[in-house]
């Protein structure tokens, strides 16, 4: 006997292909953006999201029915999906954008993800949990998860748990207990499923995909769609006028010893407090 | 053709509405803790004033919280009006509970043209939720802004961990521009007994079937200045080796300087310091008068959070550490010798 459908969870993990976090980026001479001809990899916060989904399955075993990863981006984003599949996700969905398309905004992404969630539901795979990064390290906006939580469901939106550092799912009760990081401390929330969780760095330590898993991932299915298949428009509402270099800091001044350092501090008006 | 004509007229009428854009009127989210207004919100008021129009504040909280906060907002310069809404549900600022109030306030052609807040963790969680409900975009972590009489607002904001600056324009067609401001880029609004702020109560919007229940808030206690707004910060990195050594080395220096304590991600991950003390792209952004980096190599992500500091001092034994490229005073030395010596010599 299969357990009742209500106890099986489907998880969706949106991932983004970003310039690798260790790359020192350069603004292009036209000042329209940065030189993208550099190493790319999965947004680090999304790796944490994939890892958390896989760990939830390891903890909850058969209660997790599927882990699907989705990306919205140019053709090369499918590499990012393969990475996520090698980490343990079951299937991928690539909403493909042309290379020339402008970078979509969080609201457009959230609408696309909502359309994906509706489509999953129609196809009998109602999603219970979306786990995603708290921000992408390229645009540093940190909005998509919250926007998706607002749009998902019928009207009032669903629960959101942002900057999660711990996630526990109680399948029987249909709730997630999430510890989130806030300025100056932490907060504990009890969220009814479905929920959108966004990951903080401290949620987990993502695993490296092993070679056998990378080979296996090649056989896992990746479906391709376009924004128009989902009836969404990703045209940005904000105009990027310019991307420029930040003001250069004239650093590099070294001092020989502590005495010189103290002198330099005094010169700047910095002394010990009483 | 003939049938299409009335439609064209309607569209023209709409365009004309855009052209005669209303003068800016910002609504600023005033966050509070323990009866005090958060410093970030004071900076948000200054940012809102730069739009050149009216500035209204909004305070949301429980019956126990709001009265004390109102006593303080009454004296804030730069605000004309403060709206306040009280409900037991608003005590912990859960976006699912607070968002409906803002949605109601901001739908059906409100007077407000901008929704402004500090780039704090709770505002970051709330604003995008409200924006999405109203089908509006949001701009995060703004460092400067300019409002055009035609109704568009241009913002600058750091991207790629502060390694590039994007200039983005929210055109006049976006009726309410949502943005969060980088606190360290705007001065704090001041208090004055002469201020005349009008207080207006708002009906709370009660959420009957909330999907989220707030269970607990844990705030790390500290007698030191708050990291995000401290004028001096002493930060420690991985080189401190353990929590005991971190405390033993960093605390005396922070004490003698009256500084807040910060940490690199490596130090936080290794458990030497609390999460809330992390400085960098994924932690706090600081721009104090003095930033002392002890045993921190200076990874891109760390520099993102502190390179706007006025005076950067680095103590590291690796002369090639990237931190020295931004430091005004770099000392290549073993921190175990240099820091105690520095503490002693500062005391003299």
pLDDT in tens, B97-125: 999 999 999 998 899 999 999 999 999 99
ipTM of the complex: 0.94
pLDDT of residue A257: 92
Task: Dump pLDDT digits (tens) for A136-188.
Answer: 999 999 999 999 999 998 888 999 999 999 999 999 999 999 999 998 889 99
Which among A243, A253, A258 has CB closest to B330?
A253
**B340 or A248: which leads in pLDDT:** B340
Task: Dump pLDDT digits (tens) for B216-232.
Answer: 999 877 788 889 888 99
Residues 6+ positions from A10 with CB-CB distance below 8 Å: A64, A65, A66, A68, A120, A125, A126, A127, A128, A129
Q: What is the DSSP string of B256-283?
A: HHT-EEEE-HHHHHTTSS-GGGBBSTTS
Q: Which of A25, A114, A140, A154 to mutate to test the interface with B (most CBs of B within 10 A)?
A: A140
Angle, to 10 degrees, between the axis of helix B335-347 and the axis of helix A258-267? Answer: 50
Neighbour order of strands in the sheet with B329-332: A254-255, B329-332, B311-316, B290-294, B232-236, B260-263
Inter-chain residue contact B121 with A181, CB threshold 8 Å: yes
For A65-80, letters b (16+ CB in 10 Å) and e give bbbbbbbbbbeebbeb
Enumerate the residues of chain A whose CB falls inside 8 A of the CB of residue B150: none
Return residues 256-295 of B near A (CB < 8 Å): 256-258, 265, 268-269, 275-276, 281-282, 284, 289-290
Taking the Cβ of residue B168 and every Cβ of chain A, the question of whether any pair is shorter than 8 Å is answered with yes
| C-alpha span between B327 and B320 (Å, rounded) | 12
Both structure tokens of A192: 């009814």
Which among A24, A249, A258 has CB closest to B338?
A258
Residues 6+ positions from B261 with CB-CB distance below 8 Å: B224, B227, B233, B234, B235, B236, B250, B251, B254, B273, B277
pLDDT of residue B17: 47
Which among A110, A138, A252 has CB closest to B132?
A110
Q: Where are the alpha helices (DSSP H) in A61-105?
A: 77-87
| C-alpha span between B142 and B180 (Å, rounded) | 6
| C-alpha span between A217 and A90 (Å, rounded) | 8
Task: Count Cα atoms within 13 angstroms, Cβ side, for B225.
Answer: 17
Going from the C-alpha of B138 to that of each of A56, A186, B123, B155, the distances in angstroms are 32, 25, 12, 11
| DSSP conformation class of B68 | H
Q: What is the pTM of this model?
A: 0.91
CB A67 within 8 A of CB A61: no
pLDDT over 70 at B4, yes or no: no
Which among A110, A158, A257 has CB closest to B211?
A158
| C-alpha span between B51 and A62 (Å, rounded) | 55
pLDDT over 70 at B3, yes or no: no
Task: Dump pLDDT digits (tens) for B282-339.
Answer: 888 899 999 999 999 999 889 989 998 999 999 999 999 999 999 999 999 999 999 9
pLDDT over 60 at A6, yes or no: no
pLDDT of residue A152: 97
Rounded to a whole number of angstroms, the distance from the CA of A134 to the nearest CA of chain B is 9
Nearest-Cα residue of chain B relative to residue A242: B167
Enumerate the residues of chain A whose CB falls inside 8 A of the CB of residue B265: 201
Which of A193, A209, A188, A204 is CA-nearest to residue A56? A204
Pairing of strands A195-199, B232-236: unpaired
Both structure tokens of B184: 């360290």
Which among B168, B275, B330 has CB closest to A239?
B168
Chain A / chain B CB contacts < 8 angstroms: 261
Rounded to a whole number of angstroms, the distance from the CA of A58 to the nearest CA of chain B is 24
Going from the C-alpha of B285 to that of each of A85, B185, B267, B318, the distances in angstroms are 34, 10, 17, 25
Nearest-Cα residue of chain A relative to residue B313: A261
pLDDT of residue B2: 45
Task: Dump pLDDT digits (tens) for A50-66.
Answer: 999 999 999 998 899 99
**Could you give the percent of chain B with pLDDT greater than 90?**
82
């Amino acid at each position: 006997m299969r357990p009742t459908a209500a106890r099986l969870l489907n998880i969706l993990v949106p991932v983004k292909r970003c310039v690798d976090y260790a790359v020192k980026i350069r603004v292009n001479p036209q000042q329209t953006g940065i030189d993208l001809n550099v190493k790319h990899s999965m947004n680090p916060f999304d790796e944490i999201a994939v890892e958390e989904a896989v760990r939830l399955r390891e903890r909850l075993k058969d209660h997790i029915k599927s882990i699907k990863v989705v990306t919205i981006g140019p053709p090369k984003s499918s590499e990012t999906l393969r990475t996520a599949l090698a980490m343990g996700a079951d299937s991928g969905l690539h909403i493909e954008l042309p290379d020339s398309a402008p970078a979509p905004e969080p609201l457009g992404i959230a609408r696309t993800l909502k359309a994906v969630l509706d489509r999953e539901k129609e196809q009998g795979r109602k999603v219970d949990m979306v786990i995603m990064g708290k921000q992408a390290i390229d645009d540093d906006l940190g909005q998509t998860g919250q926007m998706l939580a607002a749009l998902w469901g019928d009207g009032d939106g669903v629960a959101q748990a942002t900057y999660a550092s711990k996630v526990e799912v109680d399948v029987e009760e249909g709730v997630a207990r999430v510890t989130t990081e806030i300025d100056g401390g932490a907060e504990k929330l009890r969220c009814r499923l479905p929920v959108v969780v966004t990951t903080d760095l401290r949620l987990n330590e993502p695993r490296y995909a092993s070679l056998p898993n990378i080979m296996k991932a090649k056989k896992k299915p990746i479906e391709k769609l376009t924004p128009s298949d989902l009836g969404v428009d990703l045209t940005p509402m904000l105009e990027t006028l310019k991307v420029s270099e930040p003001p250069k800091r004239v650093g590099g001044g070294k001092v020989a010893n502590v005495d010189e350092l103290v002198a330099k501090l005094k010169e700047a008006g910095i002394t010990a407090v009483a | 053709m003939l049938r299409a004509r009335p439609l064209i007229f309607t569209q023209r009428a709409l365009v004309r509405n855009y052209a005669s854009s209303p003068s800016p009127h910002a609504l600023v989210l005033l966050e509070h803790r323990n009866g005090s207004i958060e410093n970030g919100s004071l900076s948000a008021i200054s940012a809102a004033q730069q739009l050149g129009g009216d500035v209204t504040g909004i305070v949301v909280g429980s019956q126990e919280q709001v009265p004390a906060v109102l006593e303080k907002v009454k004296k804030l310069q730069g605000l004309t009006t403060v709206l306040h809404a009280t409900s037991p549900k608003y005590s912990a600022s859960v976006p699912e509970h607070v968002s409906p109030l803002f949605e109601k306030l901001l739908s059906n052609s409100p007077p407000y043209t901008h929704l402004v807040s500090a780039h704090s963790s709770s505002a970051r969680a709330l604003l995008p939720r409200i924006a999405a409900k109203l089908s509006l975009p949001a701009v995060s972590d703004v460092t400067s802004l300019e409002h055009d009489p035609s109704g568009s607002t241009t913002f600058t904001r750091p991207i790629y961990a502060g390694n590039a600056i994007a200039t983005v324009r929210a055109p006049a067609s976006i009726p309410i521009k949502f943005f969060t401001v980088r606190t360290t880029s705007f001065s704090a609004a001041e208090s004055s007994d002469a201020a005349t702020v009008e207080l207006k109560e708002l009906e709370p919007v009660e959420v009957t079937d909330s999907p989220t229940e707030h269970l607990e808030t844990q705030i790390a206690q500290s007698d030191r200045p708050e990291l995000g707004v401290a004028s001096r910060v002493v930060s420690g990195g991985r080189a401190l080796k353990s929590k005991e050594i971190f405390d033993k080395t960093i605390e005396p220096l922070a004490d003698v300087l009256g500084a807040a304590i910060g940490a690199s991600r490596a130090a936080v991950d290794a458990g030497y310091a609390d999460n809330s003390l992390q400085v960098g792209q994924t932690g706090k952004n600081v721009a104090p008068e003095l930033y002392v980096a002890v045993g921190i190599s200076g990874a891109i992500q760390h520099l993102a959070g502190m390179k706007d500091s006025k005076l950067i001092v680095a103590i590291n034994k690796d002369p090639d550490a990237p931190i020295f490229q931004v430091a005004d005073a770099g000392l290549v030395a073993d921190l175990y010798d240099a820091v105690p010596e520095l503490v002693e010599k500062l005391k003299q």
